[in-house]
């Protein structure tokens, strides 16, 4: 007998929301269980249980609602993945319709309708030439698949050449938390403990100029970065499998915005030296920079394109690694030849997630979401202009609707706040008291509204951020 079959008959007629409300435990008990049992990601757990964080029960539009009935504007689009808001009727309907058919069916030895339909739509939307879609379930797994594809591609396309097992990447990069992703990412605060487990990479300095090495100004440092990019690709071209890049914006590094033309330059040089280009658009894809994909802005076609987060509209875990025909063809041959890509995940191409993704992509055109992103980017620029000469704001970095506001103790010298002051975290708490959810990256306050968020709500998000920064900086002075 199932748990629900034992409930009184009258309760089975309740709506799902009402039923959940009647069945749930008290907020205090949930908080106690959370502290006793749930290990939260990227969270100092000793401090966590002293902060009485919201326990989210439901969402509506662009708000999240906790178990005490408090509403919060979702200012980070549920960790950069929500696109159209919460409880979107069209996506809900697509998931419900798919539930009436089948919730999951493997792609190992079978196919399913939503995964096929989604692959076709992705190929139509992606930069031209990316024609093959390999599914997984998160940004890290999309990158991990791309790394393995690149390595195996070279071994099979050029079997008489030296093995290419080296990867190039940018300083400060973040590509997820699997060991492959960490190897090409390595943000020290996140990954220091795993250094002995990681494979070798070569790094190119990130082309950002808030802090430049001695002897450089902004212009000379960017020229230096360009020379280093070319040097690394030339020096290691016989060993390099691929160059991995977050196009236009390095997200987890603190919303570091690259100068115009940098991505196109990376593509030019990688192509010239036979090095594959892996574009990690997990964070920047699906409209957040102003175009459907960040690569579109500089007309770049990577060899491998990694997608996740907004792919399903922020509804369900889903990722995809897109490849060109040239890459894919290196894996073709008779089964006995051993050219197969032996890699996969249990929920690869999950029908529910793919159905949600198809519905989400249809809403981009129906609701002119990219036009909304461009309008909201101007709202953000206008609303945050007041921080331009703030004594504790080193820089406001923005590309599209991706924003990083870097806080420092002293603006002229760029001296940071002491880590024990937790300035960014305190801003997030101040915003939460004002009914807005944001999440900092260290002392970089990140704003990441959903691409479809109405302009009035974006204005509110920005104004609360400005007020919260002012409050915390007064306390820290």
| pLDDT score at 299 | 97
Instruction: For residue 248, give the nearest of 307, 207, 190, 202 by alpha carbon.
Output: 207
Helix (H) or strand (E) holding 155: helix 139-157
- CATH number at 345 reads 3.40.640.10
DSSP state of 391: T
State which of 366, 382, 410 marks the end of a domain: 366
184 and 293 in a single domain? The answer is yes
> How far apart are alpha carbons 65 and 321 in whole angstroms?
34
315 and 443 in a single domain? The answer is no
Q: What angle do CA 53, 432, 45 make, to 5 degrees?
A: 30
Domain span at residue 410? 54-84+369-476
| pLDDT score at 369 | 98
442 and 419 in a single domain? The answer is yes
| pLDDT score at 14 | 47
Which distant-in-sequence residues (6+ apart) come within 8 Å of 210 by Cβ? Answer: 394, 395, 406, 414
344 and 414 in a single domain? The answer is no
464 and 426 in a single domain? The answer is yes
**Tally of domains in the chain:** 2
249 and 309 in a single domain? The answer is yes
Three-class DSSP category at 415:
strand
In a domain, 120, yes or no: yes
- Asked if 458 and 381 count as a contact pair (C-beta separation under 8 A), the reply is no
In a domain, 262, yes or no: yes
423 and 381 in a single domain? The answer is yes
pTM, full prediction = 0.93
- CATH number at 386 reads 3.90.1150.10
Q: Which two tokens stand for residue 245?
A: 């890049």
State which of 366, 398, 426 marks the end of a domain: 366
375 and 360 in a single domain? The answer is no
> How far apart are alpha carbons 289 and 437 in whole angstroms?
21
| pLDDT score at 22 | 54
State which of 313, 336, 366 marks the end of a domain: 366
- Asked if 258 and 249 count as a contact pair (C-beta separation under 8 A), the reply is yes
Q: Which two tokens stand for residue 154?
A: 């070279």
In a domain, 2, yes or no: no
75 and 111 in a single domain? The answer is no
Q: What is the largest CA-CA distance in the chain?
A: 77
In a domain, 24, yes or no: no
101 and 226 in a single domain? The answer is yes
| pLDDT score at 27 | 92
Tens digits of residue pLDDT in 47-81: 999 988 999 999 999 999 999 999 999 999 999 99
| pLDDT score at 224 | 97
In a domain, 35, yes or no: no
> How far apart are alpha carbons 105 and 114 in whole angstroms?
11
| pLDDT score at 10 | 40
Stretches in the chain below the pLDDT threshold 70: 1-23
| pLDDT score at 25 | 87
Say what the alpha-carbon torsion angle 188, 191, 196, 199 is, to the nearest 10 degrees: -90
């Amino acid at each position: 007998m199932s748990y629900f079959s034992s409930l009184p008959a009258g309760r089975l007629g309740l709506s799902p929301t009402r039923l959940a409300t009647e069945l749930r435990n008290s907020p205090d008990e949930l908080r106690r269980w959370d502290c006793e049992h749930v290990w939260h990601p990227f969270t100092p757990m000793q401090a966590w249980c002293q902060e009485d964080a919201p326990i989210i029960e439901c969402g509506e539009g662009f708000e999240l609602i906790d178990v005490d009935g408090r509403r919060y504007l979702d200012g980070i689009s549920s960790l950069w993945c929500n696109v159209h808001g919460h409880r979107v009727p069209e996506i809900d309907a697509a998931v419900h319709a798919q539930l009436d058919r089948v919730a999951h069916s493997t792609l190992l030895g079978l196919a399913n309708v939503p995964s096929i339909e989604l692959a076709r739509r992705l190929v139509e939307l992606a930069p031209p030439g990316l024609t093959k879609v390999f599914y997984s379930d998160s940004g890290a797994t999309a990158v991990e698949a791309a790394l393995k594809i690149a390595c195996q591609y070279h071994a099979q396309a050029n079997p008489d050449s030296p093995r290419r097992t080296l990867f190039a990447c940018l300083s400060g990069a973040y590509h997820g938390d699997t060991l492959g992703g960490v190897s090409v990412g390595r943000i020290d605060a996140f990954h220091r403990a795993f250094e002995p487990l990681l494979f070798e990479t070569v790094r190119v300095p990130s082309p950002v100029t808030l802090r430049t090495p001695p002897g450089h100004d902004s212009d000379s440092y960017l020229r230096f970065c360009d020379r280093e990019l070319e040097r690394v690709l030339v020096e290691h071209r016989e060993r390099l499998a691929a160059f991995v890049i977050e196009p236009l914006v390095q997200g987890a590094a603190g919303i570091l915005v690259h100068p115009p033309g940098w991505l196109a330059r990376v593509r030019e040089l990688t192509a010239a030296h036979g090095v594959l280009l892996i574009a990690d658009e997990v964070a920047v894809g699906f409209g957040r920079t102003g175009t459907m994909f960040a690569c579109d802005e500089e007309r770049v076609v990577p060899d491998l394109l990694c997608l996740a987060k907004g792919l399903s509209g922020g509804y369900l875990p889903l990722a995809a690694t897109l490849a060109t025909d040239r890459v894919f063809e290196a894996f073709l041959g008779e089964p006995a030849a051993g050219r197969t890509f032996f890699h996969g995940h249990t929920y690869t191409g999950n029908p529910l997630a793919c159905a949600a993704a198809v519905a989400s992509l249809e809403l981009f055109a129906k609701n002119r979401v990219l036009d909304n992103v461009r309008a909201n980017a101007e709202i953000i620029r206008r609303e945050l202009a007041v921080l331009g000469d703030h004594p504790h704001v080193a820089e406001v970095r923005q590309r599209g609707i991706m924003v990083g506001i870097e806080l420092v103790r002293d603006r002229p010298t760029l001296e940071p706040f002491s880590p024990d002051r937790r300035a960014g975290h305190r801003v997030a708490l101040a915003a939460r008291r004002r009914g807005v959810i944001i999440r900092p990256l260290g002392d970089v306050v990140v704003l990441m509204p959903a691409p479809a968020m109405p302009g009035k709500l974006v204005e509110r998000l920005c104004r609360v951020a400005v007020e919260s920064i002012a409050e915390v900086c007064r306390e820290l002075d």
